[in-house]
């Protein structure tokens, strides 16, 4: 199992960060996605990457403006994502944790690098969408 943790301070309120984080209808801010398909159950959705890779998600915990957890899997990996939001004088401290198990020993060795790269892109996309860049 590989894990990556990213901590970021946003100038935006937790309400604004939460709204962006959890709105699967508005994904245009994500530079890595072609689309999001909403599942039959409200807690399920599929992200389709620009490369065509489909990743299936299921929301496992949702505490508004505080904590959001998801299980996910695709053809290469399975894992768990946690977003923790902390209010700080009208700003938001966010902690994103992603743990994955990858198929194949070579892929497992580069999984940590991949996770850090993905988290960096995700945070940069969020900052742009929030008007903080």
pLDDT per position as a tens digit, 31-72: 999 999 999 998 999 999 999 999 999 999 999 999 999 999
* H-assigned helices in the chain: 14-22, 105-129
Residue 81 CB-half CA count within 13 A: 23
Pairing label, strands 77-88, 91-102: antiparallel
What range does the domain containing 76 cover? Answer: 2-21+56-129
Residue 30 within a domain: no
DSSP code of 12? S
User: Considering its fold, how many domains does the chain have in total?
Assistant: 1
Question: Would you say the pTM of this structure is higher than 0.85?
Answer: yes
CATH code of 84's domain: 3.30.530.20
Q: pLDDT per residue over 65-87, tens digit each?
A: 999 999 999 998 999 999 999 99
Domain contains 31: no
Give a yes or no: residue 16 inside a domain: yes
Q: Which two tokens stand for residue 54?
A: 């489909």
């Amino acid at each position: 199992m590989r894990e990556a943790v990213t901590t970021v301070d946003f100038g935006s309120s937790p309400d604004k960060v939460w709204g962006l984080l959890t709105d699967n209808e508005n994904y245009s801010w994500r530079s890595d996605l072609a689309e999001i398909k909403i599942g039959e159950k409200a807690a399920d959705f599929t992200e389709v990457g620009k490369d065509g890779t489909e990743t299936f998600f299921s929301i496992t915990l949702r505490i508004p403006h505080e904590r959001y957890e998801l299980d996910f899997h695709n053809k290469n990996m399975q894992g768990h994502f946690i977003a923790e939001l902390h209010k700080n004088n009208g700003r938001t401290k966010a902690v994103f944790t992603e743990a994955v198990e990858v198929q194949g020993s070579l892929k497992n060795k580069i999984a940590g690098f991949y996770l850090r790269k993905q988290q960096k892109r995700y945070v940069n996309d969020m900052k742009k969408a929030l008007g903080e860049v």
